[in-house]
Amino acid sequence: MGFRSWYLWRGMLPFTSLFSRLLWPRATAGVLATYEGRLLAIDTGDYLMLPLGALESGETFAEAARREASEETGVDVELRDCVDERINVYGGVERLYAASPTRKSPLADPSWEGDPTWVPLEEVTDRRWRFDRPVGRYVDALVGGANDVDVGQRSTPDDGSTTDD
């Protein structure tokens, strides 16, 4: 066993989490939730963010995407297809799922991240998005049909559930 493996295997030693993040960047998952011509987002005042965050230990991408939407916006979602898979800004894998609210859920109260909001689809390209995400391109693919715009690898949620197109 190499030193790095031994050090991380021991766990809870000083700097373990720092080393693990440098050596194994965290994976992230998020949603592109649409409802009645609007996209779910978090407004920070300076820019908009998609509901997105890091996977927790033992969590699948799909579980993380659902959890992040609920935690950050108060909206429970049902996932459809994975519309984009790429390397995130931290060097880990990121998946974005098309989603719909499971019921008419109220938005959460503002948090340290920002105010949950529904952005009209026609305003998406005019707004500033965190990390300059091509959110307009994602929305075009969702609205225009999966074959109209290539936004990356598509798949079904990785938790064994089925999807409706």
Local confidence pLDDT in tens for the 165 residues of the chain: 455 444 444 444 555 555 555 666 789 999 999 999 999 999 998 999 999 999 998 899 999 999 999 999 999 999 999 999 998 877 888 999 999 999 877 787 777 788 999 999 999 999 999 878 889 888 888 877 543 333 333 344 455 444 433
132: left (phi over 0), alpha (psi -120 to 50) or beta: left
Q: Which long-range contacts (CB under 8 A, 24 or more apart) does 102-109 make?
A: 102/76, 102/77, 102/78, 103/76, 105/74, 105/75, 105/76, 106/74, 107/73, 107/74, 107/75, 108/72, 108/73, 108/74, 108/75, 109/74
* Angle between helical axes of 16-23 and 3-10 (0-180°, round to 10): 130
Name the residue type at position 116.
P
* Phi, psi for 36 (deg, rounded to 5): 50, 50
Say whether pTM exceeds 0.85: no
- Domain locations in the chain? 25-103+113-144
Which of the following CATH numbers is that of domain 25-103+113-144: 3.40.50.300, 3.90.79.10, 2.160.10.10, 1.10.3720.10? 3.90.79.10
Separation of alpha carbons 52 and 56, rounded Å: 12
